[in-house]
Amino acid sequence: MINITIYRTCDGYKGFEISGHSGYSEAGSDIVCSAVSSIANSIVVGLCEVLNIPASVKIDEKKGYLKCTLPKVIDDKKALSAQTLLATMQKSLEYIQKDYKKYVKLEVKNEI
């Protein structure tokens, strides 16, 4: 199963963590894993390369692990764009979870 955790505070999204493999199909033809990976990687590219936000990114492809955390300080314009990207990611992953409940678990953790 793919476990997805999205981290939020009262100020908005702070990052996300994805781990595991869906088990939907064998590696190389697993559409669930491919969909989740494509969305997550697109968000990382959007944050780091398009918006030039120095997010902390940790990846272990063999374990199926990706963690992305926003820095504590971002200028207001970039912060708004980052929030939009992360909200879009959440909605997209919710649709995948809805269709593939046995393979994807999404949790939003609201931190104080």
- Which pLDDT tens digit goes with each residue over 47-98? 999 999 999 999 998 888 999 999 999 999 999 999 999 999 999 999 999 9
Mean pLDDT estimate for the chain: 94
- Of 29, 17, 23, the residue nearest 1 (C-alpha): 23
Per-residue model confidence (pLDDT) at position 112: 63
Q: Do 106 and 94 meet the contact criterion of CB atoms below 8 Å apart?
A: yes
- Residue ranges covered by each domain of the chain: 2-110
Determine the Cα–Cα distance for residues 1 and 21; give it in Å rounded to an integer. Answer: 5
Strands 2-9 and 104-110: parallel
Choose the CATH number for 2-110 among 3.90.380.10, 3.40.50.10490, 3.60.130.10, 3.30.70.1490.
3.30.70.1490
Mean pLDDT value across residues 13-26: 93
